[in-house]
Amino acid sequence: MNTPSNPREILALSRNFMECRLLLTGAEMDIFTRLAEPASSVDLAEKHGWHERPLTVLLDALTAMGLLIKKDGLYRTDPGLLPFLRSDSPRTVLPMIRHAATIWQYWSNLTRIVTETGGVEGDGTLFEEPEEKKAFIGAMHVVGSQHAPKIVQAVNPGSALRLIDVGGGSGTYTIAFLESSPEMSATLFDLPDIVSMGRARITDAGLMDRVTLVAGNFYTDDLPGGHDLALVSAIIHMNSPEQNVDLYKKIFDALVPGGRIVIRDHVMKPDRAIPKAGALFAVNMLVGTPGGGTYTYDEIKTGLTAAGFENVNLIRESEIMMGLVEAYRPR
């Protein structure tokens, strides 16, 4: 952990938001896609009805950050970054950046939440448009596919033959598990619109004959049974402790005796300040959900035990949201 040691470093912390805001604005305006080919700020402003002077200031700042290249008065996106910042690229992370711009609005309420309201109102829904959700799930796949093989290796599915991927998105981890275990089949459980994305991705991977897609809401619906391995990937931080116990109970019922649950998420140290990424993400949940947060290993263990699981173990520590906790349904 880098601890500020002087006024200059403290002031630098207070200005960290500047480069973040520039990137978010660039993403909201789709600047990086529009500058796949070189263009001047004058041409860009005229084409899109923007204001030239502030646009030029923005483009110069993005150039200073290394995201754009400027030559002879023309700007273009760095070609090495274009696959990740171009909206029509299969490798884009732009939807996640735009999602961060939405989160920016939630974070702006932090002082008021701490001093006045105590929390957020509503159901914590962060996506207003279906296309927004679809793009975000796609970007999550781009990021998650880099980690999935290592997660599967750490989980070590062994002789497990029937996986249920709870809230499995478009199938990133389902695909990774099936590719590592040729005898395994899987159930992907998620909301109806997300399951449809999973169908397309799993079909493209040539694995649809080994997957059952089940549309539902794990807050209100039971999970299908008969599984010996359950993955709960990046889910528990959205929930209150009580909601997690309810979810664990449903997963308990979805597993055969001796079946194993594996949770992937931030796993906090007892002081809740380490890992740093988890402490910051707890704020994200505070300002964006009614009861979500990040949890220590002991808190996760307590919830799993309350749901009937035993032999709880921390099988992977991580500085990011890649910690792994396992537990078993008694035989």
Summarised one tens digit per residue, pLDDT across range 111-124 is 999 999 999 876 65
- Domain architecture of the chain: domains with CATH: 7-86 (1.10.10.10), 130-328 (3.40.50.150)
Give residue 119's pLDDT: 92
What count of other Cβ atoms lies within 10 Å of the Cβ of residue 199? 15
Give residue 145's pLDDT: 84
Give residue 128's pLDDT: 60
Q: Are 280 and 221 in contact (CB under 8 A)?
A: no
Give residue 129's pLDDT: 66
Helix (H, G, I), strand (E, B) or coil at 19: helix
What is the residue type of 306?
A
Q: Find the DSSP H helices in the chain.
A: 7-14, 17-28, 31-34, 41-48, 52-64, 82-85, 94-107, 110-112, 130-155, 172-180, 192-204, 241-254, 276-288, 297-306
Give residue 141's pLDDT: 80
CA separation for the pair 129, 149 (Å, rounded): 31
Strand partners, 165: 188, 231
Give residue 146's pLDDT: 86
Give residue 126's pLDDT: 58
Q: Are 166 and 189 in contact (CB under 8 A)?
A: yes
pTM as predicted: 0.91
Residues of the chain falling short of pLDDT 50: none
Query: From residue 20, how far is each of 10, 25, 99, 276, 308 by CA, in Å?
Result: 17, 9, 13, 18, 44
Q: How far is CA 217 from the centre of its chain?
A: 18
Q: DSSP of 84-111, one letter per residue?
A: HH-TT-TT--HHHHHHHHHHHHHHTTHH
Give residue 226's pLDDT: 98
Summarised one tens digit per residue, pLDDT across range 31-72 is 999 999 999 999 999 999 999 999 999 999 999 999 999 999
- Whether the bond into 157 is cis, omega within 30 of 0: no
The closest alpha carbon to 32, from 40, 45, 41, 23, belongs to 23
Residues 6+ positions from 40 with CB-CB distance below 8 Å = 73, 74, 75
